[in-house]
Amino acid sequence: MRLEGKVALITGSASGLKGELMGFGGAAAWMFVREGAKVVLSDISDDAGRKTVSQLVESGAEAIYLHLDVTSEEQWREAVDATVSAFGKLDILVNNAGTGATFNVEDTSEEVWDDQMAVHAKGTFLGTKHAIPHMRRAGGGSIINISSINGLIGSPTSAAYHAAKGAVRLFTKAAAVQYAGDRIRVNSVHPGYAMTPLTRNMFSDPEQLGVRIARVPMGRAAVADEIANAILYLASDESSFVTGSEVVVDGGVTAQ
């Protein structure tokens, strides 16, 4: 019971149905409840999110679903308030929601740029901003921001995604320094290539998958649980002296 008594809010966590391909947020939700947490799942994909929560509740978990578009400050206010109303406090926030955009610089429209910055950079900022007062009141907390290896290195595609995930990386360090005195830890996770609903189409193309796997010393893509394990470590008190750090889970891609 590594999260006994804790309350967690996870964004972008709709894809968590047992027997189907899970995303990091859905996989983390199952791990969190297994370890004793009460969990608020949130997403803009409401049908999938509600189905995931039904399965969690049927399995005996304490979990609720909230609609939360992470680009809306108003919806963040409502979601954090609803979390505290339902479960009394907020100890753990996982800023996980995300979308892809595989364009190089010249092919990136202003709209794509703004959208990437909104969901990753602004979404992470707004969530952190609205979680902090509640975590301070609870005596501390842990915020886990899902960046990417694409927040550490470049690639032939995804210019706006790289920029937005890089912003998540450094925002994490600023928040970690600013709120360490409140016992609020803020860390980023940098997954490598993983098979999830987000990447399923791209990775179903053997050529697209092959190009990426060729960059991985371990020679394969990750599964969602391998990323969720890192999220769980940062959420738990086992990481009590870890803040402002980058946990890379990439099979060795960025070691080269």
Ligand X SMILES: NC(=O)c1ccc[n+]([C@@H]2O[C@H](COP(=O)([O-])OP(=O)(O)OC[C@H]3O[C@@H](n4cnc5c(N)ncnc54)[C@H](O)[C@@H]3O)[C@@H](O)[C@H]2O)c1
Distance CA 201, CA 190 (A): 21
Q: What is the largest CA-CA distance in the chain?
A: 51
Given a contact cutoff of 8 angstroms between Cβ atoms, the answer to whether 90 and 37 are in contact is no
Answer yes or no whether residue 198 interacts with ligand X by CB under 6 A: yes
Q: Which residues contact 49 (CB under 8 A, 6 or more apart)?
A: 13, 14, 41, 42, 43, 65, 67
**CB of 209: closest distance to ligand X in angstroms?**
11
Q: Shortest distance, CB of residue 102 to ligand X, whole angstroms?
A: 12
Q: Which positions are annotated as active-site residues?
A: 161
**Applying CB under 6 A, which of residues 6, 11, 132, 239 lies at the interface with ligand X?**
11
Cβ neighbours for 128, distance < 8 A, ≥ 6 positions apart: 93, 95, 143, 145, 171, 175, 186
By CB under 6 A, tell whether 97 contacts ligand X.
Answer: yes
141 in contact with ligand X (CB under 6 A): no
Stretch that binds ligand X, among 32-40, 55-63, 95-103, 169-177 (CB under 6 A): 95-103
Q: What are phi and psi of 148, to 5 degrees?
A: -175, 165
Of 25 and 166, which CB lies nearer to ligand X in the complex structure? 25
The CB-of-155 to ligand X minimum distance in angstroms stands at 12
Where in 200-239 is the site for ligand X (CB under 6 A)?
Answer: none
User: Is the CB of 119 or the CB of 132 nearer to ligand X?
Assistant: 119
- Other C-beta atoms closer than 10 Å to the C-beta of 73 total 13
Instruction: List the one residue from 28, 41, 44, 230 that touches ligand X (CB under 6 A).
Output: 44
Q: Supply φ then ψ for residue 121, to 5 degrees.
A: -75, -55
Decide: is 14 part of the binding site for ligand X (CB under 6 A): yes
* Token duo for residue 224: 């969602």
Residue type, 38: K
Question: With contact defined as beta carbons under 8 Å apart, do 37 and 141 qualify?
Answer: no
Toward ligand X, which CB reaches closer, 44 or 216? 44
- Choose, by CB under 6 A, the member of 6, 41, 91, 98 that binds ligand X: 98
CB of residue 76 vs ligand X: minimum separation in angstroms? 10
CB of 137 to ligand X, least distance (A): 25
99 binds ligand X (CB under 6 A): yes
- Distance, C-alpha 131 to centroid of its chain: 15
Kindly state whether residue 196 participates in binding ligand X, applying the rule CB under 6 A: yes
Cβ pair 138, 144 in contact under 8 A: no
Q: What are the residues binding ligand X (CB under 6 A)?
A: 11-12, 14-15, 23-25, 43-45, 68-71, 96-99, 119, 146, 148, 191, 193-194, 196-199
